[in-house]
Amino acid sequence: MSSIGAANSASPHLPKLLEVSGVPSPEAPADLQSVGVPQSVLADLCLKACYTVPQCTTDWVAQQIHIPLPLVEALLQQMKGEQLLQVLGQVGPFNHRYAITDRGREQSKRLFEISGYVGPAPVSLDAYTAMLDWQLAQFPQISLEAVQQALAELVLPEHDVYTSALAIMSQRSLFLNGPPGNGKTSIARALHNAVVGDLWIPHCIGVGTDVIRVYDQQCHELAGFNPPQPWKLDQRWVRIKRPLTIAGGEMTIESLDLSYSPSMRFYEAPLHFKSNGGTFVIDDFGRQRVDPSDLLNRWIIPLEHRVDYMTLHTGLKVMVPFRQMLIVATNLDPNRVMDPAFLRRMGYRIYVSGPTRDRYCEIFARYAGRYNLQVPQPLMDRLLQQYKKEDRELRGCEPRDLIERCRDICKLRRQPMQINDEMLRLAWAGYFGLTPTNA
């Protein structure tokens, strides 16, 4: 382990960093002042943790609030002097067994009325912002080759790949529109993989006495980082893979602000905040349970200034960073659901059209290749002729969907995977609900 001098002088709010196995990592605080949040907040967390069990040790409390053992012992000894805790015996160095007193119980009840949060101690909002910005600055520069590789499994026009690369490289937003079934969501998912890097994020953020939970097992995937000496790192931070968050028709205006639990009395960060450092996709825009203009107005400031404002239940507004790749996808006519002011603020736009005959054939051949199958051109010609007979538009998702239905048929018949005219007729009937005529 070694300290990182340049990083440690980059910002007064940036946590002190150590290099661990080649990874810059937040160093465990050496004293209560360097924790970065008021000592009273830490003491309240300790006391509430002690309230939840009949007896506890210093080590157990340290594990609950993710603060180094000596610092927790100092807090508990202070509360012992205030007659909130009593010492039952010594377990080891900086490690005693404690029980909460009647006075401590009364104090804990008052604290729980303010905030029901018990868990890892928060980091300051300034520390989170500084850490996020510093990490993003360390990510490798995006190249056209990286975007081409990320989109390699998709069959796209060259100009769409180039525009995607410009959006990712410039860290501007991307607007995708076009008929359904042609890969808008697939493009968004693939572009997320063009940026390589993991992130440190805090379990939660403290704003005064309020706690905002950030780390979410449903949104964040652990990076699998196992340092050899974990006690030297600040356990309030967790290392994750760059998050990919997709919000669809279920999104509301309320879901874009802090979620306050009246019973638990702490906040849950909204999805787009949890996606900081990664990719946030608004899928099926215009089909949310909210007027599109209201949703657009909500994004004007974040798109313009790269910051957002969250409102506490007290009415206090808090400025937070908005640092992610925003991708908006819609099947609807942009002129009907969006105003020019919003479109002007979108960095880049791509119209994702249906495939040409040649692109359709390539998509079909690539997907069939996953099953080690080759599709004769006469068979493809007959399939394309069926589209023409029914005056049906080609869609990029349909080669995959038809092949998967051929696979289902083969599985039902317990025969090796194959694609032929009979299979495609049955697949067509099961997919479109129509029986095609013979070509």
- What pLDDT does residue 427 have? 95
- Report the pLDDT averaged over residues 250-274: 86
Q: Report which of 276, 284, 332 is spatially closest to residue 308, judged by C-alpha positions.
A: 276
pLDDT of res. 303: 77
Q: Which of 36, 44, 32, 38 is nearest to 16 (CA)?
A: 36
Quick one: which of 341, 287, 18, 65 has its CA closest to 177?
287
Percent of the chain with pLDDT over 70: 96
Give me the mean pLDDT over the 242-249 stretch.
89
Q: What is the mean pLDDT of the chain?
A: 90
Q: Report the distance separating Cα 188 and Cα 14, nearest Å.
A: 31
Q: Using the predicted structure, report yes or no on whether residue 134 has a pLDDT greater than 80.
A: yes
For residue 439, pLDDT over 70 is answered with: no
CB 157 within 8 Å of CB 350: no
Two tokens at 240? 């994750």
> How much of the chain, in percent, has pLDDT values that exceed 90?
71
Look up residue 91 and give its amino acid.
Answer: V
With a cut of 60, say whether residue 2 has pLDDT above it: no
Query: Distance of alpha carbon 247 from its chain centroid, rounded?
Result: 11
21: Cα separation from own chain's centroid: 25
- Cβ contact 298:256 at 8 Å: yes
Q: In this predicted model, what pLDDT tens digit does every residue of 46-92 receive, in sequence order?
A: 999 999 999 999 999 999 999 999 999 999 999 999 999 999 999 98
The mean per-residue pLDDT over the stretch 239-246 comes to 95
pLDDT confidence bin for 6, thresholds 50/70/90 = low
Least confident of 5-9, 154-158, 228-232, 269-273: 5-9
Is the Cα torsion angle 353, 356, 359, 361 positive or negative in sign? positive
Tell me if the pTM is above 0.75: yes
383 or 248, which is more confident? 383
Q: Characterize the bridge pairing of strands 279-282 and 307-311.
A: unpaired
Torsion angle, alpha carbons of 430, 432, 437, 439, to 10 = -100
Mean pLDDT within 303-318: 87
Name 180's Cβ contacts closer than 8 Å, sequence gap at least 6. 331, 395
Query: Is the confidence at residue 438, as pLDDT, over 60?
Result: no
The dihedral over CA atoms of 307, 311, 317, 323, expressed in degrees to the nearest 10, equals: -10
What local confidence, expressed as pLDDT, does residue 301 receive?
Answer: 78
pLDDT in tens, 206-241: 998 899 999 999 999 999 899 988 899 999 999 999
pLDDT score recorded for residue 5: 56
| Span of 219-233, 253-267, 282-296, 409-423 with lowest mean pLDDT | 282-296
Mean pLDDT of 118-134: 96
Residue 403 backbone phi and psi in degrees, to 5? -65, -40
